[in-house]
């Protein structure tokens, strides 16, 4: 298949473009450059719409918005794509159209579905138009099957180069590309476990003693075989799921490995946050204690003490004339005079002028206010001394408590500083705790699926096999030993033998292909990759790399791109070699396929470094006659020096507005 030209009319932002692809084997590159949102992905996706009617857009209205705006109610406009290509000595023009009508609500509606028409032109110039949908699909399938299209058209979103080798099971696709598909299909006719197989047909021709019983057994047999088929399909599905889970696990484990430091940081962050929360509680509690001390007038008490000591009052008061031993406080001269005048004391003693009581009372006047304040002074000094002693402790507690609050604040600042540093380090990075949880979930799912698989393989299917065998046995016993039956049994035996040989052949062929593919992809990889790795392809045709000394290592994205390009190039090389090979001892004739397919890619280098881009671009033309790359200028610039001499055509997408872009050829 070699694409010649591609036209778009009113297709999204492309109102009217025409691209002619390089068909020069020495200059296989057609480069189309464009900036972000210029329509590069749209362009690649439009190929698939043209070939298969596949609409990989969120907005299913393909009609150009400016055209829509100009339409009046009832007006019709079409979206059209025309692809011209050569395949197997024929030229084809594939035209896909979709009609739109404007509604009174100002919206547009698609009239029916996209219509694909084909014009097949032979060497003599005779053109055969094909309009029937089924015939069109068959012709296009012969050129390039829909299932295989994803190996040659990469739109960068739904199908990117990065994803090619992550596809669950490439076995079927590789079989198709390598021409084994038809052989496999034929082999299935002899598979005794398939619903409508040759052996079953032979069995239906047997002469049976008890036809009714035999029919009942046949029905049961069919039922069991159907169940077994379903189980086998289920096994494939589960294997596919397990594979997907393994891929996800590998990726998560890679993330975990790459971000070990982040895990440590996250744990430290958690630890510091907990400590800070506790410290804040301590600080608040300590501060409350401090305020409690202050509110209870400890400051005032300390000032009393300070005043007493500052003025050295104790010593000062000693110089007073007031004595304290005989001093009596809180009794006045007037009170004593009143007692004398009354004539008897508080204790009842008679007071008469110049008696003992009278003389004693007169003498006591010398030890009371206002002549003597001894007791007052004594009491004052004692109280202040007690206060000083108490205060000293209290003020120490006050000071220590205030200091504790300051310590808490200082520690909080330190923690905050550490926390800020950690936050800066892990900013924008995935939460590794979440990754660990995801890994655990994936492992659980995988374990569950493996358990399910094991049960089906070790119990369900063997049980069904046993039941099928028993039923076959019963059926055989019901058939009488006639000449016809003997002949039929011989045919059945031959069919079984044919099936076994074919199965073995196909398995061997697949292993050959796998091995050859591994070798081919490996050697191409060595040309493209600058490093010490080698390619491994498993029995599902999935690609991985390992260090050249066979210890496995996780792949980085740039490496994946090189790996994937190598795989595609390897496939292409094998296809060519297969067609050109001359294998006379093959029992089965291989299917014929075209040996050329174009490679159409959107942004294939977004995750690759300059050196590898250069290597890929230098080596790809060896295996692919046509390479169409839709790329941003910066990525193109990285390889342009190396591939300039191999560029047959170059175009640039010019964005005029959000709804209009055109393509200009650059010379």
Partner 1 sequence: MFSNPIRIYGIYSQIAKKYSKDNSNDKSEDFILIDNEGKKSIERKIYIFETLLDCYMTAMMLGIVNDKKEPEDSDKTIYATVFADILVKKREQLERIYQHMVLTRYVDLDVNARIKKAFSIIKEEDKKEELENLKSYMRGGLLIIDDYFKNCATIEDFCIKIIDFKNDYSIE
Q: Is 506 a binder of partner 1 (CB under 8 A)?
A: no
Of the candidate spans 163-171, 317-325, 469-477, 515-523, the one that interacts with partner 1 by CB under 8 A turns out to be 317-325
Cα distances (angstroms) measured from residue 53 to each of 4, 155, 347: 20, 15, 129
Smallest gap from residue 276 Cβ to partner 1 (A): 5
Q: Is 297 a binder of partner 1 (CB under 8 A)?
A: yes
The three-class DSSP label of residue 540 is: coil
Q: Is 306 a binder of partner 1 (CB under 8 A)?
A: yes
Nearer to partner 1, 141 or 282 (CB): 282
Query: CA–CA separation, 637 vs 111, rounded Å?
Result: 43
Picking from 1, 144, 122, the residue whose alpha carbon sits closest to that of residue 595 is 1
Of the candidate spans 279-287, 458-466, 475-483, 631-639, the one that interacts with partner 1 by CB under 8 A turns out to be 279-287
Picking from 312, 316, 317, 326, the residue whose alpha carbon sits closest to that of residue 371 is 326
Among 36, 89, 105, 310, binds partner 1 (CB under 8 A): 310
Q: Is 135 a binder of partner 1 (CB under 8 A)?
A: no
Query: CA–CA separation, 315 vs 311, rounded Å?
Result: 9
Q: Is 14 a binder of partner 1 (CB under 8 A)?
A: no
Query: CA–CA separation, 131 vs 147, rounded Å?
Result: 22
Terminal C-alpha separation, the chain: 26
For residues 36 and 632, the answer to whether their CB atoms sit within 8 Å is yes
Q: Is 104 a binder of partner 1 (CB under 8 A)?
A: no
Smallest gap from residue 406 Cβ to partner 1 (A): 5
Query: CA–CA separation, 384 vs 169, rounded Å?
Result: 96
∠ CA 544-550-556 to the nearest 5 degrees?
40
How big is the site for partner 1, counted in residues (CB under 8 A)?
Answer: 51
Dihedral sign for Cα atoms in the order 293, 299, 304, 305: positive
3-state per-residue secondary structure call for 461-472: HHHHHHHHHHHH
Of the candidate spans 209-217, 289-297, 336-344, 623-631, the one that interacts with partner 1 by CB under 8 A turns out to be 289-297
- How many beta carbons lie within 10 A of that of residue 640, not counting itself? 17
Q: Is 378 a binder of partner 1 (CB under 8 A)?
A: no
Among 380, 489, 494, 588, binds partner 1 (CB under 8 A): 380
Nearer to partner 1, 342 or 423 (CB): 423
Range 114-117 contact pairs with CB under 8 angstroms and sequence separation of 24 or more: 114/49, 114/53, 114/55, 116/50, 116/51, 116/53, 116/140
Q: Is 276 a binder of partner 1 (CB under 8 A)?
A: yes
x/- mask, partner 1, residues 592-631, rule CB under 8 A, reads ----------------------------------------
Of the candidate spans 22-30, 234-242, 409-417, 598-606, the one that interacts with partner 1 by CB under 8 A turns out to be 409-417
Q: Is 307 a binder of partner 1 (CB under 8 A)?
A: yes
Smallest gap from residue 35 Cβ to partner 1 (A): 41
Smallest gap from residue 311 Cβ to partner 1 (A): 4
Smallest gap from residue 388 Cβ to partner 1 (A): 6
Binding site for partner 1 (CB under 8 A): 276, 280, 283, 287, 290-291, 294-297, 299-300, 302-311, 313, 316-317, 319-322, 369-370, 373, 376-377, 380, 388, 391-392, 395, 398-399, 402-403, 405-406, 409, 412-413, 415-416, 419
């Amino acid at each position: 298949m070699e694409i010649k030209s591609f036209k778009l009319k009113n297709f999204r932002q492309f109102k009217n473009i025409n691209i002619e692809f390089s068909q020069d084997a020495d200059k296989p590159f057609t480069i189309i450059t464009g900036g972000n949102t210029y329509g590069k992905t749209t362009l690649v996706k439009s190929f698939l719409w043209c070939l298969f009617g596949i609409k990989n857009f969120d907005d299913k209205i393909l009609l150009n918005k400016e055209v829509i705006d100009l339409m009046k109610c009832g007006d019709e406009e079409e979206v059209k794509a025309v692809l011209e290509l050569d395949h197997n000595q024929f030229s084809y023009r594939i035209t896909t159209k979709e009609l739109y009508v404007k509604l009174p609500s100002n919206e547009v509606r698609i009239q029916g579905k996209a219509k694909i028409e084909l014009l097949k032109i032979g060497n003599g110039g005779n053109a055969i138009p094909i309009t029937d949908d089924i015939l069109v699909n068959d012709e296009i399938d012969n050129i390039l099957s829909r299932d295989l299209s994803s190996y040659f058209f990469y739109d960068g979103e739904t199908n990117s180069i990065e994803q090619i080798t992550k596809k669950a099971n490439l076995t079927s696709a590789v079989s198709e590309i390598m021409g084994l598909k038809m052989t496999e299909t034929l082999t299935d006719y002899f598979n005794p476990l398939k619903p409508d197989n040759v052996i079953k047909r032979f069995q239906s021709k047997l002469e049976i003693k008890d036809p009714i019983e035999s029919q009942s057994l046949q029905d049961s047999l069919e039922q069991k075989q159907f169940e077994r088929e379903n189980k086998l399909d289920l096994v494939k599905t589960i294997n596919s799921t397990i594979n997907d889970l393994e891929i996800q696990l590998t990726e998560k484990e890679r993330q975990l490995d790459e971000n070990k430091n982040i895990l440590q940081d996250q744990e430290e962050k958690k630890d510091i946050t907990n400590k800070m929360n506790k410290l804040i509680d301590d600080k608040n509690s300590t501060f409350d204690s401090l305020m409690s001390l202050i509110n209870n007038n400890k400051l005032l008490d300390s000032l009393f003490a300070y005043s007493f000591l500052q003025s050295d009052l104790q010593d000062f008061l000693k110089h007073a004339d007031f004595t304290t031993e005989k001093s009596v406080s809180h009794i006045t001269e007037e009170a004593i005079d009143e007692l004398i005048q009354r004539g008897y004391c508080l204790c009842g003693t008679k007071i008469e002028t110049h008696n003992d009581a009278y003389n004693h009372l007169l003498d006591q006047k010398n030890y009371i206010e206002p002549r003597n304040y001894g007791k007052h002074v004594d009491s004052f000094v004692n109280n202040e001394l007690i206060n000083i002693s108490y205060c000293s402790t209290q003020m120490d507690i006050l000071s220590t408590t205030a200091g504790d609050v300051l310590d808490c604040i200082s520690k909080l600042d330190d923690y905050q500083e550490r926390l800020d540093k950690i936050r800066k380090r892990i900013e924008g990075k995935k939460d590794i705790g979440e990754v660990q949880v995801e890994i655990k979930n994936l492992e659980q799912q995988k374990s569950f699926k493996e358990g399910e698989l094991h049960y089906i393989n070790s119990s369900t299917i063997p049980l069904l096999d046993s039941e099928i065998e028993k039923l076959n046995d019963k059926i055989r016993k019901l058939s009488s030993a006639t000449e016809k039956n003997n002949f039929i049994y011989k045919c059945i035996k031959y069919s079984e033998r044919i099936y076994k040989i074919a199965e073995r052949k196909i398995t061997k062929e697949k292993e050959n292909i796998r091995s050859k593919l591994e070798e081919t992809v490996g050697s191409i990889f060595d040309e493209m990759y600058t490093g010490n790795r080698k390619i491994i392809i498993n029995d599902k045709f999935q690609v991985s790399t390992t260090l050249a000394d066979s210890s496995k290592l996780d792949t980085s994205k740039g490496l994946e791109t090189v790996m994937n390009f190598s795989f595609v190039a390897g496939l292409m090389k094998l296809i060519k070699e297969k067609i050109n090979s001359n294998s006379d001892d093959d029992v089965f004739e291989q299917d014929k396929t075209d040996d050329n397919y174009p490679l159409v890619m959107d942004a294939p280098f977004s995750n690759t470094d300059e050196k590898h881009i250069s290597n890929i671009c230098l080596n790809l033309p060896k295996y692919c006659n046509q390479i169409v790359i839709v790329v941003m200028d910066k990525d193109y610039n990285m390889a342009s020096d190396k591939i300039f001499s191999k560029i047959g055509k170059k175009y640039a997408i010019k964005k005029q507005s959000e709804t209009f872009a055109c393509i200009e050829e650059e010379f």
